[in-house]
Structure 1
Amino acid sequence: MRILVTGAKGQLGSAVVRCASSAGMEVLAYSRDELDITNSALVESMLFREQPDVVIHCAAYTHVDQAEVEVDTTYQVNAVGTRNLVFAAEAIQAKFVYISTDYVFDGQAKAPIDEWTMTAPIGVYGRSKLAGETYVRDLHSRFFIVRTSWVFGHQGKNFVKTMMRLGDEKEQLKVVADQIGSPTYAEDLAEAILSLIKSNCFGVYHISNSGACSWHEFAEAIFSYTKQPISVIPCTTEEFPSLAPRPAYSAFAHQSLKLNGFKEMRHWRDALLTYLKVEKRQK
């Protein structure tokens, strides 16, 4: 299987490249500098030349707060860039995987969100990612829309790395306790995506590690596992105002994985322990 990965140097993209290469797949890995997805002619010529069997689209504009300011740029990357890839992928009959987000929901749910829940994004980032979903649905016939949340991986910045750094610098820390979601280990997500592309079970999937927590609970688990002696104080979202609104509740149900017979995702606490062990080995 010949796979083209966009955003190949990001948290998820790098995990997909590692997992696919380990599985013996031929991987064409492109970073933002190597493939400008907003250039339709360039995207089309690249895909027609390389002829991948699958396109896994991990590239995105993910600066949630800055998206409220750089609106055009956000849509140019997340919507128009996705359209360019989808159109070319359909033309060469390559399967298409689009990585979406919990930010396509408004955060008003009271129970884990399944794949058929009505979308209602509350910020520019979420709306731009939903626009990308729309292009995928409208322009491609064999697609997987994969919504995920709270990703932590070995490449780049993430919440876990930030907490570990602050744990070495501070004795006390305030962390938001009124936002609930599902943490996702990038390596687990990558493995799940590779399982999808081997099938023809196309559609929308919610893929995160199982279970849910607040950012505060997530931080407490990190410090407990790393044995960093720091006091974690719960606080509200209002105490940390930001440009972009955040969903208050975005924990996922994994109905599509279950109904299509895919492997259940392990609990986020188990995934976190594995992540920390790998990070320790890599130091």
Structure 2
Amino acid sequence: MSSRRRVLITGAQGRLGTAFRKAWTSHDDEVIALSRQELDVKDAESVMKQCERYQPNIIIHTAGYTDIDLAEEEPEEAYRINAYGARHVALAARAVGAQLVHFSTDQVFQGSSEQSYEETSYPLPVHTYGASKVAGDRFVQAIHPQHLIVRTAWLFGTSSIKEEISSAACSSRSSIWHAESTVIGCPTYVPDLIHHVEEMLGQRCHGLYHVTSSGSCSMQEFRDAIGALTPAIDWQQSSSDQAQRRARRPERVVLEPAALIRTGIPPMRHWYEALADWMNRNV
């Protein structure tokens, strides 16, 4: 689009929010990046007040409760943030006429199917985190016609490889780095994800889309690929195992980008190509 847009980012201090803020600063758009302290999605009045104040054209909603295990102990908090927080943002976006980009997760599926999941596949989460995300998705769909729900998975590439695999960068239990070695999913390179979101906005896409890097693999295959590309990296695998986890994990979730293909937007490049690019840039 040629006209300058005002873009408001929620959860701007999180990994995904920070990545969007950095990517968008290179554009001509005006970026309003708000932290949890500046915009608490649990507070409907705060959300509406900030959206009315800034009158954004686009809201990138990245704020979320992402600790899968802790959500089993704090289900109310997970729902306050992921479900009702999404509701508050959707209501505010509708009130100010902003396009809403809302992020969802592969964890909304049971993960027992050998088939890939398309956007029309019925969600059946196996833990509280997934259920709270489904509730948030449905609030967005019901409230605001100008929504773009981006369902993605296994995010990587927001910083250097050394930073991402360090304990400080891996505090979230929804992180790719905490997945069990046998779990199968779709690694997603964040810079490519952001590029695709921008392209989808440019084409005025609405509705629910699966957006991940192409291809799928087990977590062990992903770790092996990192080891082959960067043997010098001191890989410290997570010491936690399924028996120690509070929440059961889906064993296999592969997202099929059927809606994206129907729009004529090419799928993202293969995860291994993106991984190699990331390594070359950041190691």
- Alpha-carbon distance between aligned partners in 1 of 2:196 and 2:235, rounded to the nearest angstrom: 35
Residues 206 and 159 of structure 1, relative CA distance in 2, 3 Å threshold: farther
Query: What is the TM-score with the length of structure 1 in the denominator?
Result: 0.87
- Alpha-carbon distance between aligned partners in 2 of 1:74 and 1:157, rounded to the nearest angstrom: 29
In the TM superposition, what are the counterparts of 1:40-55 in structure 2 within 5 Å? Answer: 40-55=44-59
- Alpha-carbon distance between aligned partners in 1 of 2:91 and 2:229, rounded to the nearest angstrom: 45
Residue 149 of structure 2 aligns to a residue in which SS? strand
Instruction: Tell me how far 1:109 sits from its aligned partner.
Output: 1.6
Which residue identity does 1:109 align to in structure 2? S
In the TM superposition, what are the counterparts of 1:119-268 in structure 2 within 5 Å? Answer: 119-155=123-159, 161-162=165-166, 176-228=180-232, 238=242, 240-268=243-271
Instruction: Tell me how far 1:7 sits from its aligned partner.
Output: 1.4
Residue 113 of structure 2 aligns to a residue in which SS? coil
Paired residue for 1:270? 273
Q: Which runs of 5+ in 2 are unaligned?
A: 170-178
Which residue identity does 1:11 align to in structure 2? R
* 1:8 pairs with 2:9: no
Which residue identity does 1:72 align to in structure 2? E
Q: Which runs of 5+ in 1 are unaligned?
A: 166-174
Paired residue for 1:31? 35
Pick the aligned partner of 1:104 from 104, 108, 125: 108
Q: Percent identity?
A: 36
Residue 9 of structure 2 aligns to a residue in which SS? strand
Residue 8 of structure 2 aligns to a residue in which SS? strand
Residues 267 and 156 of structure 1, relative CA distance in 2, 3 Å threshold: closer
Paired residue for 1:87? 91
Count of residues in Structure 1 that have an aligned counterpart in Structure 2 = 270
Instruction: Tell me how far 1:68 sits from its aligned partner.
Output: 0.5
Residues 24 and 263 of structure 1, relative CA distance in 2, 3 Å threshold: farther
Which residue identity does 2:267 align to in structure 1? E
Query: What is the TM-score with the length of structure 2 in the denominator?
Result: 0.87
Instruction: Tell me how far 1:20 sits from its aligned partner.
Output: 1.9
Instruction: Tell me how far 1:93 sits from its aligned partner.
Output: 1.1
Which residue identity does 1:272 align to in structure 2? L
Q: Are 2:161 and 2:279, in contact at CA under 8 Å, matched by a contact in 1? A: no
Paired residue for 2:176? none
Instruction: Tell me how far 1:263 sits from its aligned partner.
Output: 2.9
- Alpha-carbon distance between aligned partners in 2 of 1:231 and 1:3, rounded to the nearest angstrom: 37
Q: Are 1:14 and 1:155, in contact at CA under 8 Å, matched by a contact in 2? A: no
Residue 5 of structure 1 aligns to a residue in which SS? strand
Residue 83 of structure 2 aligns to a residue in which SS? helix
Which residue identity does 1:269 align to in structure 2? Y
- Alpha-carbon distance between aligned partners in 2 of 1:142 and 1:32, rounded to the nearest angstrom: 24
Which residue identity does 1:48 align to in structure 2? E
Residue 64 of structure 1 aligns to a residue in which SS? coil
- Alpha-carbon distance between aligned partners in 2 of 1:41 and 1:156, rounded to the nearest angstrom: 37
Which residue identity does 1:45 align to in structure 2? K
Q: Which portions of structure 1, spanning 4 or more consecutive aligned residues, are displaced by more than 6 angstroms?
A: 156-159, 229-233
Residues 245-283 of structure 1 deviation map (CA, whole Å, 9 limit, x = unaligned): 111111111111111011320111111122223322xxx
Residues 156-199 of structure 1 deviation map (CA, whole Å, 9 limit, x = unaligned): 99995249x9xxxxxxxxx8443100001111111111112222
